[in-house]
Structure 1
Amino acid sequence: MLKQEHEKVANPIVYSCYYTRSREGEQFVQEHVFSYQISGTLILNDGSREYAINPGDFRFCRRNTLLKFNKLPPAGGEFNSISIYLDQKTLRDFCAEYGYSAAGHHAGNAVLQLKPSAMFKGFVDSLMPYEQQIKQYGSNVGLLSLKIKEAIMILLQSDPGLKDILFDFSEPGKIDLEAFMNKNFHFNVQLKRFAYLTGRSLATFKRDFEKIFNNTPSRWLLQRRLQEAWYQIKEKGKAPSDVYLDLGFEDLSHFSFAFKKTFGVAPSKI
């Protein structure tokens, strides 16, 4: 079953560890995330491009983006990464304290692969002694607030242009709904999330959607996903078990039922 990551985290510093098995799913990235890949490989896809994150890589994921992920442990080893979540309040407080501001909205890739540096590595190493404390006893608010501030400082020092991303506090503006949905139809998120990301209330999203597509969002999403499934299976030779998760279906049986109802044949029979 496709699983979604939690949108909120209890601590701003999160250790991710999986043994032997891979784990895939998708998530709405609600806050900026600065991460370091310790072991294993992370594959991310934002609907337009794929990013391969390998051991020793640093990455920055922008807030208000949709990402599919696949966490792959190495043979006989474990997947391990550490992520620092940079929430809006912390960033606003940082701006007020140090006088930073964004020059304007900065569009770009959902994931930035950062150039490794001794400064980044030294920061990550400084977090390791607190791993078990954070896992077992919860966060030390004073200590973690200092480490988060340090993370922001080294990001800005490594690339001053990141200020236009970090300190852009604007919410998603009203964008081209047709282009957005054709790019992101395969993400299994609620309609209210699609509405938010296109700069609309849920009611306005539904109204605009029906004007553009002459269909309800739910029906269109099902039809569009099934059309893509037919193409992937018939033309690309993929197995149903390889496509249903990527196209936003939660389980194979539901996908097979909907596919047969629409096309009159089970996907396994094509």
Structure 2
Amino acid sequence: MATKQINKNAEIVFSCSGSTRHNTEMISEEHCVVRVLSGELKVIQSNKTYVFGLGETLLFPRNQLSTLVKSDKDGLPYRAIVVKLTQDVLRAFYEQKKLQATLVSKTDYIIPLSQSPLLDSFFASILPYFDLNYKLPQELSQLKIQEAITVLRSINQDIDNILSDFSEPHKINLVEFMERNYMFNMPIEKFGYLTGRSLTTFKRDFKKAFNTTPQKWITQKRLELARFQITEKKRKPIDVFYEVGFENLSHFSFAFKKQFGKSPTEFVNHNLR
């Protein structure tokens, strides 16, 4: 069964993946709080991998890049509740409370949240909403988001520094960013946005830095990473292609052979000799 989402266009979503393994890319323009109800969620970022299971909760800060691997565990499919902390609701919350945060460097990682009865109670109160045969009223949705903000602030004293930061991505070092994040599969426009550049400026700066086009450079880097994973880490092509940024195995195999003269399977067979 394909991934199912209830209240798909709302701020509160029930996500269920009935497949044994389901991969997606995560890049959200809103902060998201995720509670895993069953199954397992692996979050792969440029510098770290996290694994979350039953009853665990995490915060995805907005505009962060992650690959998500959703898997069955203990005979149960991956199921989760996702609450989007929209910028409009966050602005209203902080303006009403007259709260200000001390600005700190933007986080480039997700935030695991400690176990808390407040979190348990919050998510338990949301579950009945998914039995509704109509969209959750906007007023109620906003109240629950405000409740989520209040809970987060009570269990993490540093959370204001993230939730009350409404700035857009500023111009950052393009080379460092691309070297860390080339494996994430997203449009070139999004790479530009996250480095604080328009598409035109991004392409111009990229050409200066790498003396080639973004797409050619990204493809080559992904293939080099895949070869390393296959030859040095002894991993199977089917376990590698998605993590390095390819959408399907056949396209990966074609590009790999074109680049290195041998298919991924031929590299594997050579390693087994």
State the match for 2:96 in structure 1. Answer: 97
Deviation at 1:131, TM superposition (A): 1.6
Deviations 1:178-230 (A, max 9, x none): 11111111111000000011111111111111111111101111111111122
Q: Distance in 1 between matches of 2:3 and 2:218?
A: 18
Please state if 1:15 is matched with 2:8. no
Q: Which 4+ residue blocks in structure 1 deviate beyond 3 angstroms? A: 3-6
Q: How many residues align?
A: 265
Contiguous gaps of at least 5 residues in structure 2: 268-273
Give 1:187's aligned residue.
184
CA distance in 2, matches of 1:4, 1:177: 34
Aligned counterpart, 1:260: 257
Choose from 216, 220, 224 the match for 1:223: 220
> In the TM superposition, what is the alpha-carbon distance from 1:25 to its structure 2 partner?
1.9
CA distance in structure 1 between the partners assigned to 2:108 and 2:197 by the alignment? 22
How far is 1:53 from its partner? 0.9
Shift of residue 108, structure 1, vs aligned partner: 2.6
AA matched with 1:44: V
1:258–1:19: structure 2 CA closer, same or farther, 3 Å change rule? closer
- Distance in 2, matches of 1:124 and 1:155, equals 12
Match for 1:210: what amino acid? Answer: K
8 Å CA contact 1:20–1:76 kept in 2: the answer is no
Equivalent residues of 1:29, 1:67 under 8 A apart: no
Identity %: 38
Q: Which amino acid aligns with 2:33?
A: F
Match of 1:116 in 2: 115
Residue 234 of structure 2 is matched in structure 1 by 237
TM-score normalised according to structure 1 size: 0.92
1:52-63 aligned at under 5 Å gives the runs 52-63=51-62
In 1, Cα distance between equivalents of 2:239 and 2:17:
22
Output the TM-score relative to the length of structure 2: 0.91
Question: Conserved in 2, the CA contact under 8 Å of 1:104 and 1:164?
Answer: yes
Alpha-carbon distance, 1:13 to partner? 0.7
1:269 is the counterpart of 2:266:
yes
AA aligned to 1:117 is S
Structure 2 equivalent of residue 199 of structure 1: 196
Q: 1:183 to 1:37 in 2, by over 3 A?
A: same
